[in-house]
A = this chain, B = another copy of it.
């Protein structure tokens, strides 16, 4: 049996989660739900039972490598790779796949975002195992989550015919980007559309072959870096080559074109999943109790009368009176007040502060 290796590209600023998420302390390093473990740590925790500590590989920005190593003390340091600059997910996942294949030519690789939230570890692990079975047959295999609402915050995947490689496997007809709400409702009604959770399982050689066809320059750059990995000039090659790699997401580089050619499969799953991309999603992920007011932080720091929504505290006393659907995020130097309905637009405030020259807040 080829062994399964996990790849965690730990990047992304989480701008819509500002001011909790900052450039220097991004979303994946945060414990957004008050669980005691950061999103990265939770991702690691749920992968170790599938691939072992030796099978977990993280690639992150150079400035965050120390923080990642500190958060994952059990993970050997050489399994945490620092990318010199963010080039989106394909270069990161591609390089890790290339490095893994050099050690294990038959390897299966499975990539998972570092900053998503999952409930139902058993069903998650079952889905990944099924995806590995499908991937062994040569499919780039994704995991399609059963949508529970007509979300406009997620991309969708349309399922085709069932496959026999695993109980919940099916072909993928196409990937679609975040839809408008009318289209999202249609997808939900149709029953054949699934949320794209950005999880991909593939044979390393299959992924790299697709990449060679679809993005030959990117593939060549990755292989050049991977070839130099054990050499003394590794850092020089990395520093020289990395900035030239095409900045592109795996969805656009591989998933969409390969799906169009019939090479992508999915496993239909229904564990709890959220990309926890904005404070409305944080609100949904935090148990709110009877009042529909979620609290991240010490509930004793919050007084609320006739209020609903989400409060993120950092030790100051927060008092709410008669505010519905509210989002209050309190950090030592910056305060955000918005609504769950507007949570997707928080980026505009970040733009404001950048334009105002307040780099200290970003």
Q: Would A345 and B305 be within 8 Å (CB), given that A336-B321, A337-B318 are in contact?
A: yes
Task: Tell me the A332-356 residues at the B interface (CB within 8 Å).
Answer: 332-339, 341-342, 345-346, 348-349, 352-353, 356
Distance, CA A133 to CA B330, complexed state (A): 55
- In the complex, the chain B residue whose C-beta lies closest to that of A357 is B300
B322 touches A342 (CB 8 A): yes
Q: Are B341 and A319 in contact (CB under 8 A)?
A: no
Q: Which residue of B lies closest to A333 (CB)?
A: B316
Contact of A305 with B348 in the complex, beta carbons under 8 Å:
yes
Q: From residue 83 to 139 of chain A, which have CB atoms closer than 8 A to chain B? A: none
Number of identical protomers: 2
Q: Which residue of B lies closest to A305 (CB)?
A: B348
With an 8 A cutoff between CB atoms, is A240 at the interface? Answer: no
Q: Point out the residues of chain B lying under 8 angstroms from A342, CB to CB.
A: 306, 321-322
Q: Is A328's CB within 8 Å of the partner chain B?
A: yes
User: Are the CB atoms of A328 and B322 closer together than 8 Å?
Assistant: no
Q: From residue 297 to 343 of chain A, which have CB atoms closer than 8 A to chain B?
A: 300, 303, 305-306, 316-323, 326, 328, 330, 332-339, 341-342
Given A305-B348, A322-B345, A353-B303, A316 contacting B339 (CB threshold 8 A)? no
Q: Is A361 an interface residue (CB 8 A)?
A: yes
Known contacts: A316-B333, A317-B358. The answer to whether A323 contacts B352 by CB under 8 A is: no
Q: List, in ascending order, chain B residues with CB within 8 A of A326's CB.
A: 323, 337
**Measured CA separation A348–B320 after assembly (Å):** 10
Contact B336 A19 (CB under 8 A): no
Contacts of A19 in B (CB 8 A): 317, 319
Number of interface residues of A (CB under 8 A): 35
Are B345 and A303 in contact (CB-based, < 8 A)?
no
Which of A306, A338, A339: most chain B CB closer than 10 A?
A: A338
B317 touching A334, Cβ below 8 Å: yes
Contact B358 A335 (CB under 8 A): no
Residue-wise interface mask of A (66-79) relative to B, using a CB-CB cutoff of 8 A (1 in contact, 0 not): 00000000000000
Contacting residues, chain B, for A345 (C-beta < 8 A): 305, 321-322
Contacts of A335 in B (CB 8 A): 316-319, 328, 330, 335
Give Cα distance in the complex from A337 to B320, angstroms.
5
- Chain B contacts of A361 at CB under 8 A? 317
Q: Considering the complex, give the chain B residue whose CB is closest to the CB of A323.
A: B337
Contacts of A320 in B (CB 8 A): 337-338
With contacts A326-B337, A334-B316 taken as known, whether A321 is within 8 angstroms of B348 at the C-beta atoms is yes
Selected contact of A334 from candidates B319, B328, B348, CB within 8 Å: B319
Assembly CA distance A305 to B345 (angstroms): 10
B322 touches A341 (CB 8 A): yes
Contact A338 B321 (CB under 8 A): yes
Can you identify 18 A-B contacts, CB atoms within 8 angstroms? A19-B319, A303-B353, A305-B345, A305-B348, A305-B349, A317-B333, A318-B334, A319-B335, A319-B336, A319-B353, A320-B337, A321-B336, A321-B338, A321-B339, A322-B342, A322-B345, A323-B326, A326-B337
Top 8 A-B residue pairs of the complex, sorted by shortest distance between their CB atoms: A322-B342, A321-B338, A303-B352, A319-B349, A317-B334, A319-B336, A318-B335, A321-B342
Residues of A within 8 A of B (CB): 19, 300, 303, 305-306, 316-323, 326, 328, 330, 332-339, 341-342, 345-346, 348-349, 352-353, 356, 358, 361
